[in-house]
Amino acid sequence: MSIAFVFPGQGAQTIGMGQALAETYPAARAVFDEVDEALGEKLSELIWTGEIETLTLTENAQPALMATSMAALAAMQAEGIGLDRASFVAGHSLGEYSALCAAGAVSLADTARLLRIRGRAMQAAVPVGQGAMAAVLGLDAETAAKVAEDAAQGDVCQLANENDPTQNVLSGSKAAIERAVVLAKEAGAKRALPLPVSAPFHCALMQPAADEMAKALEGVQFDNPAVPLVANVLADAESDATRIKALLVEQVTGRVRWRSSVEWMAAQGVTEFWEIGAGKALSGMIRRIAKESTMRAIGTPEDVVALKGA
């Protein structure tokens, strides 16, 4: 049995996530305390008792989801279940930072600060209302990419996420995404609908954010991860810290190749995927990609205890 630890991305956030972990495990509480200190604010209060609209702001959701994942990992470690169980780590978009923190490549405090910078930079890269994203269901990645190409017509329109065999996300200028929704339906998509996001992530319009992340990453100490990272833009393993920094910059404008990443891990013999943190979105995607694999979502004390027999 080979296990991959995987970490969720934006959209998994909920008010109250991680609170039971913090109340049950002092090590999990310490994670939230350290993130609060790193950011100079009580992000934990927003996570547990705030308004979902405020938590969902990109600059808050990104460090909050990472903190919740790291709290779950700390709870696992308190029960004697450590990183040594994993053959690979991977994360969906911002989850890649959680994966690297879990693998010891970057400190918790630095990860929190980097994600706050990343969230703000991605939000600021495109004026509100000028960009958009759309989910396309029922088309494969190659067809969805062709739809994006045809819809561009001089604007930016790209395949941003390949999530599973029939779920893909397009990103770009608002007008191009509106054209893409029509073209996707004409190409046979079961559904094509705009997403309620605040910016067009993972496309060329994010270049200002990529430039800002390159500067931010320069000043942060990265070590080689203790477990290989399956990088979003490669769908392959990488263990060199310098190369990983470059991939994190590329990731801002590049495609999240989640389907390909899961297929690659399954081909390397991974039979279990442990989704560590909030929600079960990745487990649903993986179930549609690697049908013979086992999924475990670990976001509550009960989930952690259940692992003890795994």
SS3 per residue for the chain: CEEEEEECCCCCCCCCCCHHHHHHCHHHHHHHHHHHHHHCCCHHHHHHHCCHHHHHCHHHHHHHHHHHHHHHHHHHHHCCCCHHHEEEEEECCCHHHHHHHHCCCCCHHHHHHHHHHHHHHHHHCCCCCCEEEEEEECCCHHHHHHHHHHHHCCCCEEEEEEEECCEEEEEEEHHHHHHHHHHHHHCCCCEEEECCCCCCCCCHHHHHHHHHHHHHHHCCCCCCCCCCEEECCCCEEECCHHHHHHHHHHHHHCCECHHHHHHHHHHCCEEEEEEECCCCHHHHHHHHHCCCCEEEEECCHHHHHHHCCC
CA distance 174 to 171: 9
List the beta bridge partners of residue 133.
171
The encoded tokens of residue 244 equal 């990983």
Q: Catalytic residue at 202?
A: yes
Q: Is 69 a catalytic residue?
A: no
From 44, 87, 98, 202, active-site residue: 202
Which among 87, 93, 261, 283 is annotated as catalytic? 93
What is the set of active-site residues? 93, 202
